């Protein structure tokens, strides 16, 4: 598969993603970005029960540790789950996502860059009455190396008009309460590239109508591809689905390899990649 990238900018295969990644050379992937099946979510591509979740995802993480470059990153988008209510218990929130995050560091030896939050501005109503409506997902962002670099300037955000006005008029002074955020009087000049990025992503759920039941919005993988890779670097998605990761990677002039077990998803994603490259 990797040989095909010498003649093309992407390659896809209809197979289990963990097995597919085994075909790749060791230390060849700069970013593994993907959204695996969510715990307990009933989808046409199967159900990963929360009680089995770590066992289900472990083969993918095992291979990722082997195939990521020493300066590579692992990014998993996943949504928390709730356990089914019984006659004696409410539908409690599972902590399996938090367990996975801890194991990524303690068991697999990755290093946590951050756990970012994707706030969904148009969450699907669930009828839940024992907790607040679920409106966010977690992006587990880990580095293979304990010392990493990210492209902060590539993911800066626009300043608010209020911030620009404040920076232009305000002089920051040392605090009298002992905190040392500011050690001397200074003015802050806005960066011409924008404000520093924050670890919260806010936006709508994708309205794109495709055969896949959980299509991601393009802005989600785009942020992390910009932050962790450069042109020509290899991005891999072992749960490719509708191919959004690949579309974002190709638009940013990265190489892409994707795997999915469902042939129709692979075919639909391939069509999206062809269209994406036509527009470049």
Q: Could you tell me the CA-to-CA distances from 242 to 18, 20, 23, 36, 258 in Å, in that order?
A: 18, 17, 22, 13, 10
According to DSSP H, which parts of 77-190 are helical? Answer: 96-106, 161-169
Do 233 and 150 touch, CB atoms closer than 8 A?
Answer: no
In the chain, the domains with their CATH numbers are 2-155+198-278 (3.40.50.150), 158-195 (no CATH)
Spacing of C-alpha 190 from chain mean position: 28
d(CA 61, CA 104): 8
Work out the pLDDT band at 171, boundaries 50, 70, 90: low
Tell me the two tokens of residue 129.
């009455």
Cβ neighbours of 203 (radius 10 Å): 14
Which tens digits make up the pLDDT trace of 31-51? Answer: 999 999 999 888 766 789 999
pTM of the model: 0.89
Which tens digits make up the pLDDT trace of 198-250? Answer: 999 999 886 555 554 457 899 999 999 999 999 999 999 999 999 999 999 99
Instruction: State the helix-helix crossing angle for 263-278 and 244-251, rounded to 10 degrees.
Output: 20
Q: Is residue 223 classed as helix, strand or coil in its secondary structure?
A: helix
Q: Is residue 180 classed as helix, strand or coil in its secondary structure?
A: coil
Nearest to 60 by CA among 49, 46, 74, 50: 74
* Percentage of the chain exceeding pLDDT 90: 66
Higher pLDDT, 159 or 198: 198
pLDDT at 36: 95
Which residues are paired to 139 by β-bridges?
Answer: 77, 116
pLDDT at 212: 46
């Amino acid at each position: 598969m990797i040989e095909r990238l010498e003649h093309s900018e992407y390659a896809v295969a209809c197979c289990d993603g963990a097995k597919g990644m085994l075909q790749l050379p060791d230390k060849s992937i700069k970013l593994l970005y993907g959204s695996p099946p969510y715990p307990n979510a009933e989808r046409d591509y199967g159900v990963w029960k929360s009680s089995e979740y770590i066992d289900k995802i472990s083969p993918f993480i095992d291979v990722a540790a082997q195939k990521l470059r020493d300066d590579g990153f692992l990014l998993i988008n996943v949504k928390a789950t709730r356990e089914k209510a019984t006659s004696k218990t409410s539908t409690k929130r599972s902590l399996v996502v938090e367990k996975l995050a801890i194991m990524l560091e303690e068991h697999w030896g990755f290093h946590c860059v951050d756990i970012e939050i994707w706030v969904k501005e148009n969450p699907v109503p669930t009828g839940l009455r024992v907790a607040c409506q679920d409106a966010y997902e977690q992006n587990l962002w880990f580095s293979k190396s304990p010392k990493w670099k990210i492209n902060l300037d590539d993911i800066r955000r626009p300043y608010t008009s209020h911030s620009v006005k404040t920076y232009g008029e305000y002089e920051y002074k040392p605090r009298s309460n002992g905190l040392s955020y500011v050690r001397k009087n200074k003015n802050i000049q806005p960066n011409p590239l924008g404000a520093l990025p924050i670890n919260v992503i806010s936006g709508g759920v994708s309205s794109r109508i495709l055969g896949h039941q959980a299509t991601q919005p393009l802005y989600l993988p785009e942020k992390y591809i910009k932050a962790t890779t450069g042109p020509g670097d290899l991005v891999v998605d072992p749960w490719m689905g509708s191919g959004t990761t690949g579309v974002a990677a190709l638009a940013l002039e990265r190489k892409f390899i994707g795997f999915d077990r469902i042939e129709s998803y692979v075919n639909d994603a391939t069509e999206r990649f062809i269209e994406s490259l036509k527009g470049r």
